[in-house]
Amino acid sequence: MRRVATLAKVVVLTAWLLITLFPLYWIVITSLKPKPEIFAVPLKYWPGTVTFEHYAELFSFADFGTYLLNSLMVSLVAAGSVTAIGVLGGYTLARFAFPGRGALMLAFLVTQMIPLFIALGPLYLLMSDLDLLNRLAGLMLVYVAMLVPFSTIIMRGFYERVPVALEEAAQVDGASRLVAMVRVVIPVMLPGIAATFIFAFVQCWNELFLAITFIDSEDAKTIPVAMNSFITQYDIDWGSMAAATVVSVVPTLVMFAAIRRYIVEGLTAGAVKG
Amino acid sequence: MRTFNVRRARFIALCLLPGVVFVALFTYYPVLRGAVMAFQQYNLFDLTSTPFVGLENFRAVLGEDRFWTALRNTGTWVVVSLFFQFFLGFGLALLLRRHFRGRGLYQAWVFFPWAMSGFLIGLLWRWMFNGQFGVINDLLLKTGIIDQRIGFLASPGWAMTSVIVANVWYGVTFFAIMIMAALQSVPKELYEAASVDGASRLRQFWHVTLPHIRPTLALIVLLRIIWILNFPDLIYSMTGGGPAGSTDIITTFLIQQVIGGDYGRAGAVGLLILGLLLSFSVFYLNATRFEKSR
């Protein structure tokens, strides 16, 4: 009886796993099929010939190298800043009681709920006033603002799991608060910090609407903006689009796999407490 | 509380300053400005005059058929997506609850849609739902479920179903993970006590598990409703709101106003969404509060 139940469980889970993975498989083999095979009926579930022509096209015909570099720059700088700001802000929110703390937490939480698209137009005007349209710096600023509430709240959660006694001991030994924080608390929290950084990185890497609103010059496009313009320009060239999808998803996939455990921990700790 | 201390106050202020400045300048300021624009005539293509026009933008938006279609579609999009994400997610969570060999593997891979953007997921499913070369048509034909190809994304009747399928595929995992965490928070002693009393597994689930995780479930569901409503990315790349507005939701409608340069109307739509979310949240929290008896 117990065996049957376990078997049923494995069968159902495996079916779900296949459903989850199949779209990824399908896009990967589409990117590797020569054009005639992509549009061959009946469909080929296994590529007859493997070709890298779509990838080559992406980097020669479309300037995908530039877009990749742009996305990388924006995501690294924004995620780094977001994490640093979260590390500082989360610390004070976790360790001190001060007037306005509740209001600040609320102001940060509310940003996760209001429809931020209402800000899209005004942000465009603001970027234009600051002369930041078509500049990567403009995107970085907005991404940092977008992710700071999340990173601060998450970091606060991580700090609350580190015993205060740890840093008090360091302070008794004569270290200042800042030194105690940097030397004692932060090393303990490194996995949480890394998770926050990667999560922010993936968000910036994937962001579309702000980017298409602010960027339309070729040399400032990020990957989603470029892919979005592939759609309108040539209808859809599915081979190149599949290759672009694979190129843009592989880095985030690898990073997410690395931090999955911490993200789940962070999110679920917050939810279960609430 | 400790006494007021200048050095301490300065430390707190310095730590919080960057975050507060960014959020104030690039989130709250534009949101408020957008809210003000809702009462202005504010068109990007004529910025010479931006007079206050009272409720004119709201009247214009509410008078548009597309708005009401989008609102109805939003209802379908949120309710149906949520329904399947919740129940499939719950099922998965129950299956993944206990430790077994290979659980980590399932957890790792089932989680992967999360690393993708809504935009990419939309593209992926747009390709799979393609009327001519789409793999879904092919699979349905092969298994004999249909006998001719369906133009999933080209027919208004099928397009909403298709975007919801993609959304369920994306969102189930989130529910599964959250519910799994909630399930694990139930103290083991409760089950032990229940089985000493001779309660069956089903009764244990009904009388121990469910009451314990209900507050968490209520919260997750609310967050999800807000999130699904504010999630136009997938629809944007999968159907662009079409065909004939059949997959337009209120958020894609808002984005069309921004792209059209009419920030006044965009502000009005934004405020309407906000009002909708707030009143729903208040209603919802009231309706679920009395169950918050842990």
> A24-81 pLDDT, tens per residue?
999 999 999 998 899 887 888 988 889 999 999 999 888 899 999 999 999 999 999 9
Q: Is the pLDDT of residue A273 over 60?
A: no
Helix (H, G, I), strand (E, B) or coil at B156: helix
What is the mean predicted confidence (pLDDT) over A3-21? 88
Cα distances (angstroms) measured from residue A107 to each of A148, A263, B17, B27:
12, 23, 14, 10
| Contact criterion met (CB below 8 Å) for B140 and B146 | yes
Nearest to B119 among A6, A177, A208 (CB): A208
Instruction: Give Cβ neighbours of residue B245 (< 8 Å, ≥ 6 apart).
Output: B66, B69, B70, B73
| Contact criterion met (CB below 8 Å) for B184 and A271 | no
| Contact criterion met (CB below 8 Å) for B162 and B122 | no
Q: Cα(first)–Cα(last) distance of chain B, in Å?
A: 30
Residue B40 main-chain phi, psi, to 5 deg? -115, 155
Residues of chain B positioned with their CB less than 8 A from the CB of A29: none
Chain A interface test: which of B4, B10, B16 (most A C-beta within 10 Å): B16
Nearest to A271 among B26, B27, B216 (CB): B216
Chain A interface test: which of B78, B127, B289 (most A C-beta within 10 Å): B127
Q: Is the pLDDT of residue B293 over 60?
A: no
Omega cis (within 30) before A187: no
* pLDDT interval class at B294 (50, 70, 90): very low
Residues of chain A positioned with their CB less than 8 A from the CB of B107: 260
pTM of the model: 0.90
Q: What is the pLDDT of residues A191-211, one digit of tens each?
A: 889 889 988 999 999 999 999
Percent of chain B past pLDDT 90, that is, above it, reads: 55
Q: Is the pLDDT of residue B22 over 80?
A: yes
Asked if A154 has any chain B CB less than 8 Å from its own CB, the reply is no
| Contact criterion met (CB below 8 Å) for B250 and B71 | yes
Nearest to B138 among A42, A257, A260 (CB): A42
Nearest CA in chain B to A120: B258
| Contact criterion met (CB below 8 Å) for A156 and A189 | no
